[in-house]
Amino acid sequence: MSRRIIPVADFSAAPVIAGPVQTPTGVLHDTLARPLRDLRISVTDRCNFRCVYCMPRAVFDKDYTFLPHSALLSFEEIERLARLFVAHGVEKIRLTGGEPLLRKNLEFLIERLARLTTSDGRPLDLTLTTNGSLLERKARNLKDAGLTRVTVSLDALDDALFRRMNDADFAVADVLDGIAAAQAVGLAPVKVNMVVKRGTNDREIVPMASHFKGSGAVLRFIEYMDVGSSNGWNMTEVLPSADVVSRIAEHFPLAPLDAHTAAETAQRWGYVDGSGEIGVISSVTRAFCGSCTRARLSTEGKLYLCLFASAGHDLRALLRSGASDAGIATAVAEIWQGRGDRYSQLRGSNAAETRVLDSQRVEMSYIGG
């Protein structure tokens, strides 16, 4: 049987600083007037799960070559870039992966980032997304280091189904214990993300809602996305968020809630009895490109402007070439000011830019979800 090889798309280039120095002012807009407010930093390309929609074992098998440690940004390099992004207006940093808790001594990076403040002097919203398998043993150290909150991925409560989906024989109990530990140390509110794949785990929607209702955790349902090219995405496997809400409302009456911020990706629904809320992220059926304020930094320092991007900008090359802070800050400004990405709004159209992206998109495991 031949092994399917799907290389990570990499059309990155070192930025060329073309204009005058741009001193950060805390306000930076792209071509669609979207500000830079959120930075997602991937700290490792490795994961101990092999989820079928992200890192399928057929591609990421025992022979797959991950990045060498020397290719990864050091904690000092990450801190330096984060500081410059914050000066440009970033208020929230999310650490991701792969599985970020596999990065050795991650708490030291969190301590560095927790000392940063926004351009108007406020603490950063410093969060982390994890599969939860290592969270129970690490929650206290993460909190003590300065982490604000965690988001935990959990796609089923049925243990046999969950083991099949993570394809690494991890038990649901391990993740639930991690969620409990995070709540106990104050990494709250914990958000729990469930990727819904029609015909695979959609029967778990109501049991998940029932389990987390009244728990203090915020359960969010994410439409199965066409990220990268390794997961064999098909539109027939997408269950629209409207159907998710309808299924839950048949058992637990819901009422719509206002968004916390204009850039919030989840539509919020509250239980009528006051026992909490759910969120739905309609990444396929209801594009939210118009309010997207997120930039993504890959494990090896490439800046991507969209989850569905094919090309990145090699900031590591600038860092290691001896570029000054002013030079790197100017490069970041020029990159963001030229951003016009809106893939989800154009999905399914005949636009040439989406046809190219459809065959060249970077893998989610490389830049984080």
* Mean residue pLDDT across the chain: 88
Q: How confident is the model at residue 1 (pLDDT cuts 50, 70, 90)?
A: very low
* Integer angstrom CA distances of residue 141 from 75, 106, 108, 294: 17, 10, 10, 27
Sheet holding 191-196, edge to edge: 254-257, 267-271, 277-281, 218-223, 191-196, 149-153, 125-130, 92-96, 38-42, 294-297, 302-304, 313-314
The verdict on whether residue 80 carries a ligand-binding annotation is no
Nearest-Å Rg of the Cα atoms of the chain is 20
Q: Examine residue 338 and say whether the peptide bond preceding it is cis (omega within 30 degrees of 0).
A: no
Burial label, 73 (beta-carbon count in 10 A; 0-12, 13-18, 19+): buried
Q: Is the pLDDT of residue 34 over 90?
A: yes
pLDDT tens-digit profile of 238-248? 999 999 999 99
Looking at the predicted structure, is the pLDDT value of residue 354 above 50? no
295 is in an annotated binding site: yes
Find out whether 289 is annotated in a ligand binding site. Answer: yes
Tell me if 203 is assigned to a ligand binding site: no
Q: Is 118 annotated as a binding residue?
A: no
**Residue 220 assigned to a binding site:** no
Partners of residue 94 on adjacent β-strands: 40, 127
Q: Is 1 annotated as a binding residue?
A: no
Q: What number of CA atoms fall less than 13 Å from residue 136's CA on the CB side?
A: 9
Tell me if 54 is assigned to a ligand binding site. Answer: yes
Cα-based torsion angle of the residue sequence 129, 133, 136, 139 in order, rounded to the nearest 10 degrees: -20
Q: Is the pLDDT of residue 156 over 70?
A: yes
pLDDT tens digits for range 291-339: 899 999 999 999 999 887 777 899 999 999 999 999 999 999 999 999 9
Sign of CA dihedral 124, 33, 358, 85: negative
Q: Is 94 annotated as a binding residue?
A: yes
Segments making up each domain of the chain, as ranges: 38-367
Q: Round to whole Å and give the CA distance between 24 and 6.
A: 39
Q: Is 294 flagged in the annotation as binding?
A: yes
Whether residue 14 is predicted with pLDDT greater than 80 in this model: the reply is no
pLDDT in tens, 84-124: 999 999 999 999 999 999 999 999 999 999 999 998 999 99
Label residue 349 by pLDDT band (50, 70, 90). Answer: low
Identity at 114, one-letter amino acid code? A
**In this structure, which topology does domain 38-367 adopt according to CATH?**
TIM Barrel (3.20.20)
Place of tokens 């098998």: 61
Q: Is 265 annotated as a binding residue?
A: no
Token couple for 207: 């049991």
